C-alpha cells in the first residue's frame, strides 16, 4: 500500500533536493575547468557632465594629455592666437603652449607652438614673413593665425595685398573654425541705450576700428536705423561716433580712465573748424576687457553681444595656401583633432577645466579658473551695482564647423553671409582705406573640411549647438521697418523686393541667437478688418520666404496689425507710404 506524503513533508523534500543541487553546483560544477570568454576593451566611458554636452549617453571620455612636451618629429607649426576663449578646443587638443605627449595634436603627428598675439597687424606681418621664407625653404616652420570671423574682410584685404608679389599660391586661405564667441564680444553702453537705441545718437563708443567688436556696434546701429560716423577725428551730433583704441583692452581702459579728446564738429553733414570735446560713453570689447570695465568702473550694460549675434564671430584659422596644399594630410588630421577636442570640451567638465589651465599658460595671464569662468559666462555685479553678463564662448565639434561653412542640413553658409555682410559695410564706411576685399571663394577653402566630413562620419555623432527660441518676443534688441512691395491688395511679394528680403535674411543669420518678429502694417485707407487680414497675410508671406531660405519656423513669429500702429501721419501720401511697411524685430 502506498504511503501518502503529507504536504509539509513535500516541502521539506523539495528543499533538501534544491540544497543538494546547489551544493553540487558550488562544489563541483563551478570549479571545473572552463574556456574563458574573450575580454572586451570598451575604453573609458562616462556620462557627459557639462551643461552644453554635445555627446550623449555613455560617451568615450579621453584621457587628459600629459604635461611633458612631445618629441614626435612631426610637422612644425607656430600658431598666433589672441587671448580669446573661443580657442578652448585648440588648448585641450595641444595639451600646453607646446604640443604635449598623448594629446590629440601629438596623435596627429604635429608639433604646434601656441603664441599669444593680440595685435592683428603683427599676426599679418608674421604671416607675410613666413610666406616669403617658405617660398625658398619648404622646411620652414608653418605659421597659422586665428582671427575674428567678421573682421576677416579687412585682415584678408591687407594680407592679400602684402602677399600679392609672391604669386597666387602664396595667398592666405581660411580652412577651419574651432569655436566662436558666444557672448564675450559685446557693445557695452548706458542702460538707456537698451531701453531706447535712439538715445545713443550723439554719443561715442571706444573700440578697435574695423575690428570684430566694432562690427557689433555697426550691426546693432544698422538694425535700429542709426547712423555711425566713420571718421574718428570728427563729432557728429546726429550719429554714433567712434573713439579709436589700440586694442580691445585699451578700448575699456579709455572708458575707465575718463579719456577725452578734441574733435572737429560736423554741422549739416559738413566738417567745420569748430572744436568740441568728447569722452567715452560706450565700449566695444571682449573678455577680459568687459571684466575690467565692470570691475574697475561699471555703469555700462550689455547692449548687444555675440550671444545674440550668435553667428557673427566664429574663430577663423588661416595659413598660406601653398603650405596647406603641401601638407593636406596634416591639415585634415588637425581638423580631426580639433573636432574631437570640441566634443570633449563641450561634454566633460574636467576637459573644459584642462583647456582653461592651458589657456592661462598660453596667454600668460590669470589662472585656469579665470578662463574657465569666462568661457562659461557669468552674471556679476559691476562697480556700480548693475548686473552684467560677462564672458561666454563655445568650442566647435565637426557638425558646428560644417554648419558654419554651409555643409549642414539647412545648407546655409553662415560664414559667407558674415564675411560679405561686414566686408560690404567696411567698403562703404572706409572706401579710401578699403576700396574692396577678396571674394569669399578666393579665401575660404572648404576642401579640407569637406574631406574630413565625408571620410569620418563617426565624428559627426556630436550634436551641433542648438539655439532655443521663446514662443513670443518679449524683449527687443533691434527694430527696423522695410518697404516691401506686394501686388496690389495681395500678399504676393513683388520680385523687386527679393533683394530687401535677402538683406533681412542675412541680418537674421548673423543674429542667430535671436527670434525674428515679422509684423505687417497698413495705412488707414479701407476697412480695418480687411487691413488687419491683409497685413497678417503679408507678414506670413515674408515668414514663408525666410523659411524657404532655410530658417526654421520655430524662430519666426508673424503678426498683422492693420493700421493700428502708424509711424507717420495718415493724412498725407508720404505718411501713408511710411505706414505701409513690414517691421522686422530681433529679440528674445
pLDDT in tens, 82-139: 999 999 999 999 999 999 999 999 999 999 999 999 888 899 999 999 999 999 999 9
pLDDT at 3 > cutoff 80: no
pLDDT, residue 48, reads 86
pLDDT, residue 27, reads 47
| Nearest-angstrom CA–CA distance, 543 and 582 | 11
pLDDT at 11 > cutoff 70: no
Angle of CA points 297, 298, 302, to nearest 5°: 145
Confidence of residue 45 (pLDDT cuts 50, 70, 90): low
Confidence of residue 310 (pLDDT cuts 50, 70, 90): very high
| Nearest-angstrom CA–CA distance, 373 and 502 | 38
| Nearest-angstrom CA–CA distance, 540 and 521 | 12
Contact 360, 371 (CB under 8 A): yes
Least confident of 34-43, 377-386, 404-413: 34-43
Q: Is 355 helix (H, G, I), strand (E, B) or coil?
A: helix
pLDDT at 33 > cutoff 80: no
Contact 468, 199 (CB under 8 A): no
- Identify the residue with better confidence: 4 or 578: 578
The string of DSSP codes covering 123-187 is HHHHHHHHHHHHHH-TTSPEEEEEEEGGGHHHHHHHHHHHHGGG-GGGSEEEEEEEEEESSSSEE
Q: Which distant-in-sequence residues (6+ apart) come within 8 Å of 47 by Cβ?
A: 57, 58, 59
Confidence of residue 44 (pLDDT cuts 50, 70, 90): low
pLDDT at 41 > cutoff 70: no
Confidence of residue 26 (pLDDT cuts 50, 70, 90): very low
Per the DSSP assignment, residues forming a β-bridge with 519 are 559, 583
Average model confidence (pLDDT) across the chain:
91
Total Cβ atoms within 10 A of residue 74:
18
Least confident of 98-112, 441-455, 456-470: 456-470
| Nearest-angstrom CA–CA distance, 485 and 538 | 10
Contact 375, 391 (CB under 8 A): yes
Q: Walk me through the domains of the chain, giving residue ranges and CATH numbers.
A: 72-181+311-365+394-460 (3.40.190.10), 186-305 (3.40.190), 476-587 (3.30.1330.60)
Contact 112, 82 (CB under 8 A): no
The 8 Å CB, 24+ separation contacts for 407-410 are: 407/446, 407/449, 407/450, 407/453, 408/464, 410/550, 410/552
pLDDT, residue 25, reads 45
Amino acid at each position: 500500500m502506498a504511503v501518502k506524503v503529507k504536504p509539509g513533508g513535500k516541502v521539506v523534500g523539495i528543499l533538501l533536493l534544491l540544497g543538494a543541487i546547489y551544493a553540487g553546483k558550488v562544489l563541483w560544477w563551478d570549479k571545473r575547468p572552463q574556456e574563458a570568454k574573450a575580454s572586451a576593451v570598451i575604453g573609458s566611458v562616462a556620462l557627459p557632465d557639462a551643461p552644453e554636452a554635445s555627446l550623449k549617453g555613455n560617451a568615450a571620455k579621453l584621457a587628459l594629455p600629459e604635461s611633458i612636451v612631445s618629441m614626435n618629429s612631426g610637422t612644425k607649426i607656430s600658431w598666433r592666437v589672441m587671448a580669446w576663449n573661443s580657442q578652448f578646443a585648440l588648448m585641450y587638443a595641444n595639451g600646453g603652449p607646446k604640443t604635449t605627449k598623448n594629446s590629440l595634436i601629438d596623435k596627429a603627428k604635429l608639433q604646434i607652438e601656441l603664441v599669444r598675439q593680440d595685435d592683428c597687424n603683427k599676426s599679418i606681418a608674421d604671416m607675410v614673413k613666413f610666406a616669403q621664407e617658405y617660398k625658398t625653404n619648404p622646411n620652414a616652420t608653418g605659421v597659422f593665425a586665428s582671427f575674428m570671423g567678421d573682421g576677416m574682410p579687412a585682415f584678408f584685404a591687407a594680407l592679400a595685398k602684402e602677399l600679392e608679389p609672391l604669386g597666387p599660391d602664396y595667398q592666405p586661405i581660411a580652412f577651419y573654425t574651432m569655436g566662436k564667441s558666444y557672448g564675450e564680444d559685446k557693445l557695452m553702453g548706458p542702460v538707456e541705450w537698451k531701453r531706447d537705441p535712439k538715445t545713443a545718437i550723439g554719443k561715442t563708443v571706444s573700440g578697435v576700428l574695423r575690428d570684430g567688436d566694432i562690427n557689433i556696434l555697426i550691426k546693432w546701429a544698422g538694425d535700429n536705423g542709426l547712423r555711425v560716423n566713420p571718421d574718428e577725428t570728427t563729432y557728429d551730433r546726429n550719429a554714433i561716433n567712434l573713439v579709436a583704441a589700440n586694442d580691445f583692452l585699451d578700448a575699456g581702459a579709455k572708458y575707465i580712465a575718463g579719456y577725452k579728446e578734441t574733435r572737429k564738429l560736423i554741422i549739416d553733414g559738413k566738417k567745420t573748424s569748430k572744436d568740441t570735446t568728447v569722452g567715452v560713453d560706450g565700449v566695444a570689447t571682449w573678455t577680459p576687457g568687459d571684466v575690467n570695465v565692470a570691475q574697475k568702473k561699471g555703469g555700462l550694460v550689455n547692449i548687444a553681444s555675440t550671444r545674440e549675434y550668435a553667428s557673427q564671430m566664429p574663430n577663423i584659422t588661416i595659413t598660406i595656401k601653398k603650405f596647406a596644399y603641401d601638407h593636406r594630410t596634416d591639415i585634415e588630421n588637425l581638423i580631426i583633432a580639433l573636432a574631437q577636442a570640441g566634443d570633449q570640451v563641450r561634454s566633460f567638465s574636467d576637459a573644459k577645466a584642462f583647456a582653461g589651465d592651458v589657456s592661462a599658460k598660453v596667454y600668460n595671464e590669470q589662472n585656469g579658473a579665470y578662463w574657465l569662468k569666462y568661457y562659461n559666462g557669468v552674471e556679476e555685479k559691476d562697480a556700480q551695482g548693475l548686473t552684467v553678463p560677462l564672458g561666454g564662448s563655445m568650442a566647435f565639434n565637426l557638425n558646428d564647423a560644417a554648419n558654419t561653412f554651409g555643409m549642414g542640413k539647412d545648407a546655409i553658409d553662415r560664414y559667407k553671409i558674415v564675411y560679405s555682410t561686414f566686408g560690404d559695410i567696411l567698403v562703404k564706411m572706409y572706401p579710401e582705406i578699403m576700396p574692396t576685399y577678396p571674394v569669399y571663394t578666393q579665401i575660404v577653402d572648404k576642401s579640407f573640411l569637406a574631406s574630413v566630413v565625408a571620410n569620418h562620419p563617426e565624428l559627426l555623432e556630436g550634436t551641433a549647438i542648438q539655439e532655443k527660441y521663446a514662443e513670443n518676443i518679449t524683449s527687443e534688441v533691434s527694430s527696423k521697418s522695410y518697404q516691401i512691395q506686394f501686388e496690389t491688395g495681395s500678399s504676393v511679394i513683388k520680385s523687386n523686393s527679393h533683394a530687401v528680403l535677402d538683406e533681412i535674411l542675412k541680418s537674421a543669420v548673423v543674429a542667430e541667437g535671436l527670434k525674428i518678429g515679422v509684423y505687417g502694417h497698413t495705412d488707414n485707407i479701407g476697412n480695418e478688418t480687411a487691413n488687419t487680414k491683409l497685413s497678417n497675410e503679408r507678414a506670413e508671406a515674408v515668414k514663408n520666404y525666410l523659411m524657404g531660405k532655410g530658417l526654421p519656423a520655430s524662430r519666426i513669429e508673424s503678426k498683422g496689425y492693420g493700421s493700428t500702429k502708424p509711424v507717420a501721419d495718415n493724412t498725407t501720401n508720404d505718411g501713408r507710404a511710411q505706414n505701409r511697411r513690414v517691421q522686422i524685430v530681433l529679440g528674445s
